[in-house]
Structure 1
Amino acid sequence: MTNSTAATLIRTVARLSKVSFSWYDYILFSVMLVFSALIGIYFGCFGSKQSTANEYLMGGKTMKVIPIAISLVASHTSGITLLALPADIYRYGAGYWLGGFSMAILCVITVYVYLPVFYNLQIVSTYEYLERRFDNRTRLFASFLYAISVLLYLPIVVYIPALAFSAATGINVHFITPVVCGICIFYTTIGGLKAVVWTDTLQFTVTVGAIATVSVLGVKSAGGFMEVWNKALEGERLDIFDFDLDPTKRETFWIIVVGLTVHWLGHTSINQSCVQKFLAVPTFKASVMTVIYYSAGMTIMKTASVLTGFIMYAKYSDCDPFTTKQVTRNDQLLPYYVMDVAKNIPGLSGLFIAGITCAALSTLSATLNCLAGTLYEDFISKLVSKETSQKTVSNILKLIVIATGAVCTSLVLIIEHLGGLLKLAISLGGITNGPLLAMFTMGMLFPKANSKGAFYGAIGGLIFISALVIPAKYYESQGLFKYPPKPLSTNSCDFLNHSVLPNSSFFESSNPVFESTTPVYAWNETVTNKSVPFQPHVIFRISYYYYTLIGTIVSMILGLVISYMTNKDDPPVDKALISPVSYFLLPKDSKSNGFTQYNTVTKALHLVTTDSDIDNNYVKS
């Protein structure tokens, strides 16, 4: 078989295996979107109609634990996780599975360190804490970092499932994206947090149903769970307990557990979208249970994605679709797998694409809702009159959702032309998470930390981690980092002539570009010149799991040094702003007056104008 014939045959097989939607697939997909819109109409047009900021952003603090926990899990289980993580497990092994330890640690730290402070303060924007603990400029800087990271992340969340839907239907992605996003923006706008939570619950049910169905079919196709497990062992996919301290490796026990723990602290414990929902329940006990259920749910979803990777490896261990070029991107592997194992089951393709789209909508709606609260509280509220009615405030919040949603939808048109932006967005998450986590951690754990330390420490940390990430991403784009995948084979591909193709130079010279879309270290195979003598400095080869950790450490060290050098005239810190685990660092006569004792005219005026509200919201010690 000649190379030309082989290439033609491979393209033919790829075309034959491509899924196409039938009328019942379209019905399943459309029903999901219609029900999501109806939920928004119900909460927006009936009952309280989301007419106050508290109702719109916090659900009136009457939400139940289970729906909130499901909504949290749904909003953090995007198409990126569902499509990319299984493919990453398939190629590089199950090191990411160690993140279960990270999630348990995250739960404990959140419940004992961060949650008590946020719950006692009952604030709409988590960044309001930074103003009360430090000053307004620290708060605005933190809000700005959050808004930028969200506006870069959401277009990617939307674009990936749009690609999957486009591949399944042939409909142009430019048409799919605004229609689907428009429905999401609609129900988020008119329904507020209650619509977000209940649509998340509906969409999460569809997502779980799709993944569970595909998993069951996959296990059956592979010959049973033990066969799947044994093939994962034989293929080195379960070689995950590497205790090497080398920070430049792709995955080790310490890189995953330590790096992911800190990374997820920035995404959960102090993140506006999470804290907003943690506080939407009526009691602190319910808030704690929400964190526990969320952590357990995320662990289950990550485990399901890992097992999906095992199932795919059991299916393709001897006929790798990457090597044969039937798929060319990580995010194409799972849809290809679904096409393969379920092509004869009516409606399953529609259910699967609906599930992936649901995951994206959950993330989009939840983030738009909390971004609206952040932008209003931290920026727009400074420009409107204090006598503005709650109904007007609610309408402003809805307009913010529409505007930010439109921006994110428009940015999708740019995303498709910037192939490396996904990796850049993940790295940007590490860049912004570090300084943000440092500011909150300094404020809650170190009573001696002051506004100068928090502000300039965060800026210093941001500059340092940016100087690390930007060159690293440049070197990566030049193909100077390479992490070979676990063993793969094409020995059992029925459509290949094994006398020519196994280990042939045709496939070795035609490797596609693999773009990883998960928080696991990404790399580019396209430009790999073994004769290039240049080796990037070790600091630029550090795993980007560590970016949040590095940014946090640098920001905190700088911040604490500056604080201890400049805190001679700082007033005592209100006990309500300090985490219970650090009460021992406070003076014995420290009291909680419900506010920080400010020593400037601006802060004193703020205190006078908000004193009655603070007395009602704060828990006195």
Structure 2
Amino acid sequence: MSNLDWGVLLFTLVVIVVYGIYKSRGAQNINGYLLGNQSLPWYSVCLSVMATQASAITFLSAPGLAYSTGMGFVQFYFGLPLAMIVLCITFVPIFHRLKVYTAYEYLEQRFDLNTRALTAFLFLIQRGLSTGITIYAPSIILSTILNINTTYTTICIGGIVVAYTVYGGTKAVSYTQMLQMTIIFCGLFVAGILVVQLLPGGVGFSKAISIAGKMGRTNAIDFKFDWNNPYTVWSGLIGGFFLQLSYFGTDQSQVGRYLTGASVSESRLGLLMNGLVKIPMQFLILLIGVLVFTFYQYNRPPVFFNSFELNKLEQSSYNPQLKVLEKKYDKAFQEKQVEVNKLNAALDREDQPVIDQQRIALKIADEQTKTVRKEVTDLMLKNDKGADINDNNYIFLSFVTKYLPKGLIGLLIAIIFLASMGSTASALNSLASTSVIDIYKRLINKEASDEKYLKASRWSTVIWGVICIAMALYASKIGNLIEAVNILGSYIYGTILGVFLVAFYVKQVGGKAVFYAAIITEIVVCICGYQKVVAYLWLNVIGCLLVVLLAYVIQQFFKKKTAAV
């Protein structure tokens, strides 16, 4: 990066951190530290909720996912608006009325301490692992720019976020997220325009989409019902609905965001606006990935997008073999360009028979470049068995750093940093609040002063920060980050949601029944997920419905047993 880009990046990050610390000054008690004294307006709630969900993973991995497989991932969010409506009707007023710090406090009031502790424990496992992945995402950027190992960049970035979250608590998180999302929206809009402008003359937006479409990258809607396909309209509407309902309704990282609302109305409006804006935003991010894909049909992409791993191979004894493969890759790309130009000409003439013919020819040529890439990754593994051979998360970053103008590169990289900081800070804040309220205050020290609980919250943030940074060091082994986070959540969210639905709507079921039901369900879901019985989004449906069903059946068994006695 140029000095200008470094200046823009550092200035943006410093302004965000200083602004958050300034706006959050005066958090002298646990209510102010964990809930921001419940004083934030709806637009702050909306942007904070969006920023918590839209981490750096979104801006790094989603364009790479669209580049590799197309727009189908947008269907994942189709259940979000429906989930927001249900939340506004049920969850939000209940949580506000009970004046809880965490979602799990309610479960003890409704059931018992065991059920509260179990759900809090499941949340801590899931959110702790996911936060590690979230911290890892921006470390990819620094490691690429500085050409150093991600271990050092992960520790650096994690330390920065932990510092301002420990100081300012939830207000620091919410105020910085509001400014972050404003910058993010502007940066994405500019990035989308520039990708189109960088395309060759005569290839505008519509033709770029057509070319990508002919290569299977623009199929955003799939109405086929397939249990094993995670991205269809039905898996998005049904499985996505259950996942989003659980994420926003029972995950403390999100509940903590809308509990900061000044009133039930402010929280509701913030959630509803999030439901309306999220799908178009995600569509735009994926669309940028598709446009980058078209751009690389006319411009030679790197043989491998992760420059750090490629540099390691170049400096190894396998460099001569790599040079041979790069020449082979150049030849394959030149042959593909010939087919692209033929398709381009056919589109201009609107010659459908030739278009269909070129679509097939282009896919064959594309497979040839993929074959060479596979040979390169095999060579990487020969050189280093621990090499990260999945470069999906580096595609958009590689494009930004190589082709965008100076200054804007720094801004877009700052955007990815900001997204990571926002979501990571929310997660750390939620992990701290759950640890202190649901475990420390409830089980360890019930009568401590407010000052002591505030101190415990800060220390809990530090401890979870260290744990999440440690988890982040292993995140390179899990493939596409945005899918990994959602797959991980699907193992747990359905079970937790089922417990809450029983609490809200099945009044005759008691704590012991739902506790056993949740444990049995979690075992079943983990087995189904490990064996890949269905696509991961359906695990949320299975988990939720199984808890409700088992809890009812077990409760009937307890009733009969009591009656017999």
CA distance in 1, matches of 2:88, 2:226: 31
* Structure (1 or 2) with the greater helix fraction: 2
Matches within 5 A, 1:527-542: 540=533, 542=534
User: Are 1:159 and 2:148 an aligned pair?
Assistant: no
Asked if the contact 2:45–2:271 (Cα under 8 Å) also holds between the matched residues in 1, the reply is no
Cα deviation, residue 107, structure 1: 1.6
Measure the CA separation in 2 of the matches of 1:72 and 1:282.
Answer: 15
Query: Is it true that 1:72 corresponds to 2:134 in the alignment?
Result: no
Alignment of 1:609-620 (within 5 A): none
Change (3 A) 1:203 1:58: same
8 Å contact kept, 2:70–2:219: yes
Q: Which secondary structure does the structure 1 equivalent of 2:507 belong to?
A: coil
Contact 2:49 2:258 in 1 (8 A): no
Give the whole-Å Cα distance in 2 for the aligned partners of 1:209 and 1:242. 30
Of 542, 549, 558, which aligns to 1:557? 549
Q: Distance in 1 between matches of 2:13 and 2:222?
A: 44
What residue is the counterpart of 2:226 in the other structure? 246
Is it true that 1:135 corresponds to 2:127 in the alignment?
no
What does residue 292 of structure 2 align with? 312
Alpha-carbon separation, structure 2, partners of 1:386 and 1:149: 26
Aligned counterparts of 1:151 and 1:264: Cα–Cα separation in 2? 18
Match of 1:124 in 2: 101
Q: Pick from 16, 34, 43 the counterpart of residue 14 of structure 2.
A: 34
AA of the residue aligned to 2:286: V
Q: 1:255 aligns with which of 211, 227, 235?
A: 235
Tell me what 1:54 maps to: 31
Whole-angstrom CA distance in 1 between matches of 2:78 and 2:266:
23
Residues 403 and 443 (structure 1), Cα distance of their counterparts in 2 relative to 1, 3 Å cut: same
Matched residue SS, 2:474 = helix
Of 451, 456, 460, which aligns to 2:520? Answer: 460
> Which residue, 468, 481, 506 being the options, matches 1:408?
468
Counterpart position of 1:283: 263
Aligned partner of 1:543 in structure 2 is 535
Structure 1 segment 287-306 matched on structure 2, within 5 A: 287-306=267-286
1:492-503 matches, within 5 Å, as none
Secondary structure of 1:379's counterpart equals helix
Report the 3-state secondary structure (helix = DSSP H, G, I; strand = E; otherwise coil) of the residue aligned with 1:269: helix
Q: Note closer, same or farther for the CA distance 1:424–1:466 as it changes in structure 2 (3 Å cut).
A: farther
Counterparts in 2 of 1:452 and 1:383: CA distance versus 1, 3 Å: closer
Q: Indicate the residue corresponding to 1:375 in structure 2.
A: 435
Match among 448, 462, 476 for residue 388 of structure 1? 448
1:54 CA displacement: 0.7
Counterpart-to-counterpart distance in 2, 1:422 and 1:341: 24
Aligned partners of 1:28 and 1:350 also within 8 Å: yes
Q: Contact 1:89 / 1:310 at 8 angstroms: preserved in 2?
A: yes
Mapped contact 2:84–2:272 kept (Cα < 8 A): yes
1:240/1:54 Cα in 2 relative to 1: closer, same or farther (>3 Å)? same
CA contact (8 A) 2:36 2:171 kept: yes
**Aligned to 2:250, what secondary structure does the other structure show?**
coil
Are the equivalent residues in 2 in contact too, given 1:279–1:287 (CA < 8 A)?
A: yes
Match of 1:339 in 2: 401
- Distance in 1 separating the partners of 2:74 and 2:18: 37
Deviations 1:480-534 (A, max 9, x none): xxxxxxxxxxxxxxxxxxxxxxxxxxxxxxxxxxxxxxxxxxxxxxxxxxxxxxx
Q: CA deviation at 1:386?
A: 4.6
Equivalent residue number for residue 334 of structure 2: none
Indicate how the Cα distance of structure 1 residues 110 and 448 shifts in structure 2: closer, same or farther if over 3 A, else same. same
**Correspondence 1:73-222 to 2 at 5 A:** 73-222=50-199
Structure 1 residue 293, shift from structure 2 partner: 1.6
The farther-off stretch of 402-411 and 307-316 is 307-316
SS of aligned partner of 2:79: helix
Contact between 2:141 and 2:397, CA under 8 Å: does it hold in 1?
yes
Residues in 1 aligned to 2:107 and 2:561: alpha-carbon distance in whole angstroms:
19
In 2, are the aligned partners of 1:50 and 1:192 still within 8 Å (CA)?
A: yes
Decide whether the 8 Å contact of 2:62 with 2:482 is kept in 1: no
8 Å contact 1:70–1:294 — kept in the other structure? yes
Unaligned segments of structure 2, at least 5 residues: 304-369, 377-388
CA RMSD of aligned residues (A): 2.5
Which residue does 1:596 correspond to in 2?
Answer: none
Q: Given the two structures, how large is their TM-score scaled by the length of structure 1?
A: 0.72
Q: Which residue number in structure 2 is paired with residue 440 of structure 1?
A: 500
Give the drift of 1:364: 0.5
Contact 1:449 1:559 in 2 (8 A): yes
Partner of 1:493: none
Distance 1:95 1:434, change over 3 A: same
Alpha carbons of 1:418 and 1:97: their partners in 2 closer, same or farther (altered >3 Å)? Answer: closer
CA distance in structure 1 between the aligned counterparts of 2:437 and 2:57, rounded to whole angstroms = 30
Partner of 1:330: 392
Alpha carbons of structure 1 residues 273 and 371: separation in structure 2 relative to 1, 3 Å: same
Larger RCO (alpha carbons 8 Å, 6+ apart): 2
Aligned residues: 477
CA distance in 2, matches of 1:156, 1:85: 14
Q: CA deviation at 1:426?
A: 3.9
Q: 1:179 to 1:250 in 2, by over 3 A?
A: closer
**Aligned-partner residue type, residue 548 of structure 1:** N
Q: What TM-score results when the alignment is normalised by the length of structure 2?
A: 0.79
User: Within the alignment, does 1:348 sit opposite 2:408 as a pair?
Assistant: yes
Measured in 2, the distance between the counterparts of 1:260 and 1:208 equals: 24
Alignment identity in percent? 26
Inter-partner Cα distance in structure 1 for 2:75 and 2:243 = 14
